[in-house]
A and B are shown apart, each in its own frame.
Chain A
Amino acid sequence: MDFKSSDTITGPRAEDHLPHTAQAAVKIVIVGGFGVGKTTMVGSVSEIKPLTTEETMTQAGIGVDDNYGSESKTATTVAMDFGRISITDQLVLYLFGTPGQERFWFLWNGLFEGALGAVVLIDTRRLEVSFDVIGRLEERGVPFVVAINDFPDAPGYPIEDLRTALDLPEEIPIVKCDARRRASSRDTLMTLMRFLHSLAITSAPV
């Protein structure tokens, strides 16, 4: 840990603070493998320069039963980028770019469960990187949409082939996206919000 004394702290600039009227925040998680475009997407829509928060995880020795294997513990620092969008004077949306291939992200209490929902970013050159994270989101009941980031040399599978390969039901949106473009990233987030809204309608008591 590396505490910076106050004169070396960079930011926040005055405009990086929230107004005093800010009452509550919500979060969305953007999850995907290394280099898939998470930080790019956060940066495309964020009103602040993407920041990084970190956490220290203790990893017990692999294959050691944790009842008696406590000797071989190692600490790992994990980091994720995030950005912010002010929705109203009272409400703020935070976007977290989470490297989903590591299971310890799912132990971060409330990171996924407390989020409104998740965007699973996918690079079709490495589709299998997303398999595990999709399974974990399903198990935890976290609603998500899938966004295919279009890399120039990536295989251009038809969406329906991808749906079959990912074994996703018809109602889960799969969209194409260019995380470098603000409009495209915003549309991806809108797709998630519309999906969440449709879930809210179907689950609402009459």
Chain B
Amino acid sequence: MTPPQRRRRHPKEEAPDPPAPESPHVQEGAEGADEEGEGKSKNPERLYVLTGGGEGGDRAELDLVTLVVARADASPPVAQPEQSALLRLCQAPLSVAELSAYLNLPFSVVTVLLTEMLAAELVHARAPIVRSALPDRSLLEAVMHGLQKL
């Protein structure tokens, strides 16, 4: 019994071509690139967009795991009931994902609310550590150590 076989959408990527001098063969590469859209659409992913994403442009860069905490000197009342609820929730730190879950509001709605609250200096945001090209070994070791204790 053999399992079904995965087919790569692109042939296995070899080491990148050395910066070749211009040659007439460039044509081949161009054809290959044209094949990548599986349907008619060249970039099928563009059929989906995050609602509320892109517009406005002034939303803070909030990640799902940005930690949010109310400022000690934050002075309610704030404009919207959602914002007072957020302020109450983050008296101690919580991630944007947790705030979204507890308030039963979509992630993008919560980020819009939090952006206003950051501007009004009601909350602090602590940015996440994202994967970088050169991962930080001591960070990875800390996570391994933490998992080992589970």
Contacts and interface: CB of A to CB of B under 8 A. Distances in A.
A92 B67 contact: yes
A197 B41 contact: no
Interface residues of A, number: 95
Contact of B126 (A24, A51, A196): A24
A63 B126 CA distance: 41
B88 A165 contact: no
Interface in A169-206: 182, 186, 189-190, 193-194, 196-197, 199-201, 203-205
By secondary structure, the A interface counts as: mixed
Given A6-B85, A63-B40, A201-B137, A52 B128 contact: no
Interface of B: 1-10, 12, 39-41, 44-53, 63-67, 69, 81-82, 84-85, 88-89, 91-95, 97-98, 100-109, 126-131, 133-137, 139-148, 150
28 contacts: A3-B81, A3-B82, A3-B103, A10-B102, A18-B94, A19-B92, A20-B69, A24-B67, A26-B129, A27-B64, A51-B97, A53-B97, A54-B100, A66-B47, A87-B145, A109-B50, A113-B130, A114-B128, A116-B135, A117-B131, A128-B6, A134-B6, A161-B3, A167-B6, A186-B147, A190-B144, A197-B137, A203-B135
Interface of A: 1-6, 9-12, 16-20, 22-27, 45, 48, 51-60, 62-63, 65-66, 75, 77, 82, 84-88, 91-94, 96, 103-104, 106-111, 113-117, 124, 127-128, 130-131, 134-135, 139, 142-143, 155, 157, 161-162, 164-167, 182, 186, 189-190, 193-194, 196-197, 199-201, 203-205
